[in-house]
Structure 1
Amino acid sequence: MRIRRNPSAASRAAVRIRPCRPGEELALLAVFQSSVRGLASRDYTPEQIEAWAPSATSDEFRRQWVARIRSNRPHVAELRGEPAAFADLQASGYIDQFFVAAEFAGRGVGAALMRHLLETARSRNIACLSSHVSLTAQPFFRRFGFRLEKEQSPVLWGVALRNGVMTRRLD
């Protein structure tokens, strides 16, 4: 299944990349939920989706989410002043999270964010990027020069979720 580009006003709007702002962690949770539930559902079962992005989030889940976002310090891609996607880049070159809200898929938001990560990595003299990439996102990462190193099936809440370790050299 391929996401079709929609030439709407939102798709023509300028994407702005900026650091995550304090207090918008739960807005990024909504982006994450939209991405997993709206895009990854074509490659994963309902049980896998629920383990990955629970529909009912507990206070503890939200606390852990906020702590993870604050620790990862992601970059946010926004359209019309609202978060449309986010991704982090760790000092090691590891990308822990890269999510685009379903409504913005195929509109260049993720591409702008990935280009920003690549520029940031080069400016930090990071030689190699790596990430654990979902089946859904692997074609996108391939378009940016990432290679699949190995497939794996980590277990989350007792449910195996296939993904792949992907890398890209920057030298």
Structure 2
Amino acid sequence: MKIRRYKPGEEIQLMEVFVSSVRENAANYYNREQLQAWAPNSIDREEWKNKMHRINPFVILDNDKILGYADLQSSGYIDHFFVRGGYSGRGIGKQLMNFLLQKAKKKDITELSSDVSLAAQPFFKNFGFKTIRSKKVEVRGVELENALMRKDMLTNGN
């Protein structure tokens, strides 16, 4: 598998990864209404394209198929971290997170943070992220639970 920056034109593939990740990988943690609000049937493609351009994620590929993607902002914030539905538990997220941790070290980022879904919290904890606070957020009029998680790169930078 290979990790590289996303390329303009791959936004629809990233949207497919996002939707399948939410609907399949998070299905045991959120109800149908919550999943639909988080990953609706119709996502504004122009808005999505602009978001992907703004966060400039890394993608992990097997041949030419994008199996996951994640970003790392200069502040240390991880806005998106998604593995294609049906591919969790295969080490894809682990490779992607290790890649982000290496990037953070090279950029001397001292703290990572992310708003993490219930489904992804155990995964983030395995990489030394600690829950700062659990919270409820409203997405398209529906309440979802997640948590702000942080990782101190100086004391447990792995």
TM-score with structure 2 setting the length: 0.96
1:22-66 deviations in Å (ceiling 9; x for gaps): 1001100000011000111110010000100002x15xx111111
Code of the aligned partner of 1:167: R
User: Is 1:119 the counterpart of 2:105 in the alignment?
Assistant: no
Aligned to 1:146: 129
Instruction: Identify unmatched segments of 5+ residues in structure 1.
Output: 1-14
Equivalent positions of 1:75-114 (< 5 A) are: 75-114=58-97
1:81-113 deviations in Å (ceiling 9; x for gaps): 210000000010000000001221111110000
What SS does the corresponding residue of 1:154 show, helix, strand or coil? strand
Mapped to 1, the partners of 2:12 and 2:135 lie a distance apart of 29
Aligned to 2:5: 19
Code of the aligned partner of 2:121: Q
Mapped to 1, the partners of 2:25 and 2:124 lie a distance apart of 15
Aligned to 2:37: 51
Mapped to 2, the partners of 1:102 and 1:48 lie a distance apart of 17
Mapped to 1, the partners of 2:26 and 2:46 lie a distance apart of 24
Mapped to 2, the partners of 1:39 and 1:147 lie a distance apart of 21
Moved over 2 A (4+): none
What SS does the corresponding residue of 1:103 show, helix, strand or coil? coil
Code of the aligned partner of 1:164: A
TM-score with structure 1 setting the length: 0.88
